Amino acid sequence: MNEKTKESKFLDAINKYAEGQKARITQEIEDYKNSKIEQATEQGLKDAYDLIKGDIAARKAAIVNDTAKKELGIRRELYKKRQTIRNEVFAEAEQKLLDFTKSENYKEYLRKQAEKALEVLGEDGCTVYISPADEDKKDIILGILKSAEIKTDNHITIGGLRAYSRKMGITADCTLDTALEDQSEWFNEKSGLKVV
């Protein structure tokens, strides 16, 4: 082998080795680049997902908040309407009761209420409270509760009577005011106008 051939083979071997090294380094660079691109893509997708997820959560919170405000406003309106209906119904009922206290039937009603008080409390030591407007009807009550002490009570605005037995320590409330108030409580429970 001559010197030139040796040199040529040597250079070929070096070139082959250099080409092999170049190919290996190029592949490593390509693999590294692909790995970094894949990592960046994954991180970009994760960041985009987190951003979308955060945006959706913020929008849901805004919708829930807006819905709650609207619902509260509707409940307030319903409550106002319910109160208006209730007030109208009971103003009309109170007026009808006041009209009743001016009728002849009211005297019979007072007499029956005095009889009920007599059954519950007995006659001894009773104090009977009536509306100031019913002072002219004391005789009706005294016809039943003969020994009763009759007093007016400004808290009885419609009519009826409330009898208290000192001996028994109990009260028989037969006022139209209390009857109307009891109906008011019943109305609130049973009218179907509750705001839930």
Of the candidate CATH numbers 3.40.50.620, 3.20.20.105, 3.60.20.30, 3.30.2320.30, the domain formed by 104-190 belongs to 3.30.2320.30
pLDDT for the residue 128: 92
Domain assignments of the chain as residue spans, ordered by start: 1-101, 104-190
Q: Are 153 and 131 in contact (CB under 8 A)?
A: yes
pLDDT tens digits along 92-143: 988 998 999 999 999 999 999 999 988 888 777 789 999 999 999 999 999 9
Residue with tokens 């209730």: 86
* DSSP label of 32: H
Q: Are 126 and 147 in contact (CB under 8 A)?
A: yes
